Amino acid sequence: MSAHPPLPDPSLLARCREYLAAGFFEEPDASPLRRWCRAVRRRWEKQPAPHYDGAPLYPVGPKNGTGTGNRIVSPSYSYTWTFQRAELERQLAEAETEETRTSLEALSRAMTAEKERLHVPPPNGHSVGGWGYTHSIPNYGRVLREGLNGHARRVRHTLEAAVENGDRTRIEFCRGLLDVLAGIRAWHRKLRAQLQRTNPLAPDAARHRARLVEALAQVPFRPARTFFEAMVAYNLVYYLDDCDNPGRIDQELGPFLEQDLRRNAVELEQAREWVAAFADNVTANWGWSAAIGGTAPDGQPAYNRVTELCLDAARQRPRPSWELRVRPDMPDRIWERALDALATGSGNPALYNEPAYLRSLLEADLGLDERDVVAWNGGGCTETMIHGCSNVGSLDAGINLPRILERTLHEHLERTDDFGGVIEAVKRDFERDIREVTSAVSEIQRRRAEYCPQPMRSLLIDDCIDRGRDFNAGGARYNWSVVNVAGLTDVADALAALREVVFGRREVSRRRMLEALRRNFESDEALRRRLEQCPRFGNDDAAVDSLAAELATTVYTAFRKETPWRGGRFLPSCIMFETYAAAGVAVGALPDGRRAGEPLADSVGPIAGRDRRGPTAMLRSVTRLPLHLATGTPVLNLRLTRRLFATPVGRAHVRELIEAYLNMGGMQIQITVTDRQTLLDALEHPERHEDLIVRIGGYATYFNRLPPELKKTVIERTEYMV
Complete edge-to-edge strand list for the sheet that includes strand 570-574: 134-135, 390-400, 478-486, 570-574, 633-634
Number of domains in the chain: 1
Q: Is residue 191 part of a domain?
A: no
Is the pLDDT score of 695 beyond 90? Answer: no
* Exposed / middle / buried, residue 415 (Cβ in 10 Å: 0-12, 13-18, 19+): exposed
Q: Is residue 592 part of a domain?
A: yes
Q: In the chain, what is the greatest distance between 2 CA atoms, to the nearest angstrom?
A: 82
- The answer to whether 20 and 70 have CB atoms below 8 angstroms apart is yes
Q: Is residue 512 part of a domain?
A: yes
Q: Give the pLDDT band of residue 1 (cuts 50, 70, 90).
A: very low
Phi, psi of 668 (to 5 degrees): -150, 145
Tens of pLDDT, residue by residue over 380-400, are 999 999 999 999 999 999 999
- The answer to whether 564 and 445 have CB atoms below 8 angstroms apart is yes
Q: Give the pLDDT band of residue 512 (cuts 50, 70, 90).
A: very high
- The answer to whether 377 and 291 have CB atoms below 8 angstroms apart is yes
Distances (CA, A) of 388 to 135, 143, 380, 470: 12, 11, 14, 15
State residue 565's pLDDT score. Answer: 97
Handedness of CA 416, 418, 423, 424 (dihedral sign): negative
Q: Give the pLDDT band of residue 272 (cuts 50, 70, 90).
A: very high
* Exposed / middle / buried, residue 319 (Cβ in 10 Å: 0-12, 13-18, 19+): buried
State residue 42's pLDDT score. Answer: 98
Q: Is residue 313 part of a domain?
A: no
Handedness of CA 16, 21, 23, 28 (dihedral sign): negative
State residue 718's pLDDT score. Answer: 82
Is the pLDDT score of 720 beyond 90? Answer: no
State residue 693's pLDDT score. Answer: 87
Phi, psi of 377 (to 5 degrees): -150, 140
Q: Give the pLDDT band of residue 3 (cuts 50, 70, 90).
A: low
For the full predicted model, state whether its pTM sits above 0.85.
Answer: yes
State residue 2's pLDDT score. Answer: 47
Beta strands, E only, 358-477 = 376-379, 383-386, 390-400
Question: Using CA atoms, how far apart are residues 210 and 589, in angstroms rounded to an integer?
Answer: 63
Q: Is residue 697 part of a domain?
A: no
Handedness of CA 311, 312, 313, 314 (dihedral sign): positive
Q: Is residue 489 part of a domain?
A: yes
State residue 408's pLDDT score. Answer: 98
Q: Of 67-71, 201-205, 212-216, which range is least confident? A: 67-71
State residue 66's pLDDT score. Answer: 64
**What domain range includes position 602?**
390-635
Q: What is the pLDDT averaged over residues 647-656?
A: 96
Q: Is residue 693 part of a domain?
A: no
Q: Give the pLDDT band of residue 255 (cuts 50, 70, 90).
A: very high
Q: Give the pLDDT band of residue 68 (cuts 50, 70, 90).
A: confident
Q: Is residue 454 part of a domain?
A: yes
State residue 165's pLDDT score. Answer: 97
Is the pLDDT score of 139 beyond 50? Answer: yes
Tens of pLDDT, residue by residue over 455-496, are 999 999 999 999 999 999 999 999 999 999 999 999 999 999
- The answer to whether 315 and 340 have CB atoms below 8 angstroms apart is yes
Q: Give the pLDDT band of residue 722 (cuts 50, 70, 90).
A: low
